[in-house]
Every structure is written in structure tokens, then in C-alpha cells.
Amino acid sequence: MRELGGRIKSRRNIMGITQKELAMILNVTSVAISRWELGDNQPKGEILETLASALKVSAEWILTGVDSEGSLEKLKKEFYWIPYYKNIEVSAGNGFINVDEELTTIPIPSSIVHGDFNKKGLFCLNATGISMEPVLKTGSMVVVDSTLKIIKDGSMFVIRQGEYLRIKLLSETPSKIILKSYNPEYHDETYEYDELQDFEIIGQVIWFSTQLSC
């Protein structure tokens, strides 16, 4: 049942539905959704059919992973899967030390990776902190293109300063680099290039998803 739970969870994430929202659609508790996704139980009968309808897949796919109705082919056209470092956080603040690099994959809309983006250079991280509010809130997901490292004035980048990963708007002059935040409570940080002994541009943020305030 653990594989079944994984299918439910992955499709729910693709649909952008929280456990609470899905529970409301199905008229069940959030605990029931959690138990399905953990593999402790499984949906049956009418609930299974309603779940399949809510997730826009077949009940057969939920139960067996068999895609006789073409659910996965539709999925491939709608979404592109990229590496997701779910236990690494990039700080929208004063810096965050990252030690756990557990890697999985996550779907993003295919519409954002058309054109000149190098798909092989894309990956996803979580943002934490308040310096990039109101644009990025804690828990926001950012998609980074690691092939884009040249500073474009005012664009958003993930950078490394020593052991810390940070997300900032970058600008530069011939001798200086300026780190900016959206939150006006955070002042610009200006560094001479010769001060940046352990500094690296990880990549440019090309897309983000942020939670609305409750």
C-alpha cells in the first residue's frame, strides 16, 4: 500500500491540493488522507472513485499504477519533473546552513520550461525567512536554473556565502556586487569583489510558488 500512497501524494502535489483541501472535497478527515499516503490504509468503493475524479486519474491507476486510460501520458504533457532537494532550504534572510541533501523529484508546469531554458540545469529548493516578502514567503518553492550565473540587474539568484545559501536580487558595478531584498526592513548589502573570498552564484530563480496567507 505504500506505493499506492505515493501515487496519491504525488498526484495531489501535482494538482496543488493540500491534504486538508482534498479531505474537504471527499468529505473525509485529513487523518484519512494522511493514512492513505503513508500506506496505512487505502480508499475503497465510492470514495476511491471520488478520489480518482478529484485527482483526474483513474481508480485503476491509483490502485495498481497501470495507466490503461493514459493518465500518465497526459501528466507528462502537463508537467516536467526536476530534482528537488526537499531538506535543503535557501534563506530569504541572513543565511541558512544546509547539511541534508536528500534528493527526490517534483513536477513543475511544462509551460515554464519552454524556450531556451536548459532543462538539465533546473532544480528546486524551499525558501525560508522574511527578507523577500511579500514576494516569497517561508515555505515558497523556487526553481533555479544552475546554468544562468551571469548577473542580470535586479534578477533573483540563489547564492552561496561560505556555508550559507541565500536568495537575493543581485546588481553589480565594475567593482561591487549589491544584494537586495524585497522586504524594505532589510537594507542593501554591498560588497567589493575582493571581499567575496568564498562566494558563488548557484543559479538564477526562474519560477517560484508561494503560499497565500491564511
DSSP assignment of 110-127: GGGG-TT--GGGEEEEEE
The whole-number average pLDDT for the span 68-88 is 72
Whole-angstrom Cα distance, residue 207 to residue 144? 7
Topology of the domain comprising 79-209: Umud Fragment, subunit A (2.10.109)
List C-alpha distances in Å: 14 to 29, 74, 94, 164.
21, 12, 31, 30
Closest to 177 measured CA to CA, from 164, 194, 160: 194
pLDDT reading at 99 higher than 60: no
What is the residue-averaged pLDDT of the chain?
84
Whole-angstrom Cα distance, residue 149 to residue 132? 20
Q: Where in the chain are the domains?
A: 2-69, 79-209
The whole-number average pLDDT for the span 175-204 is 92
Q: Where are the beta strands (DSSP E) in 52-188?
A: 79-91, 96-97, 103-109, 122-128, 141-145, 155-161, 164-172, 176-180
- Long-range contacts of 64-71, Cβ-Cβ distance < 8 Å, separation of 24 or more: 65/3, 65/7
For 112-148, how does the pLDDT look when each residue is reduced to its tens digit (9 = 90+)? 776 656 678 899 888 989 999 999 988 888 999 999 9
Burial of 153-179, coded b for 16+ CB within 10 Å and e otherwise, reads: eeebbbbbbeebbbbbbbbeeeeebbb
**Phi, psi dihedral angles at 16 (to 5 degrees):** 70, 30
Closest to 10 measured CA to CA, from 84, 90, 68, 69: 84
For 168-186, how does the pLDDT look when each residue is reduced to its tens digit (9 = 90+)? 999 999 999 999 999 999 9
Give the predicted TM-score (pTM) of the model.
Answer: 0.67
pLDDT above 70: percentage of residues in the chain? 85
Residue 37: predicted pLDDT: 92
CATH of domain 2-69: 1.10.260.40
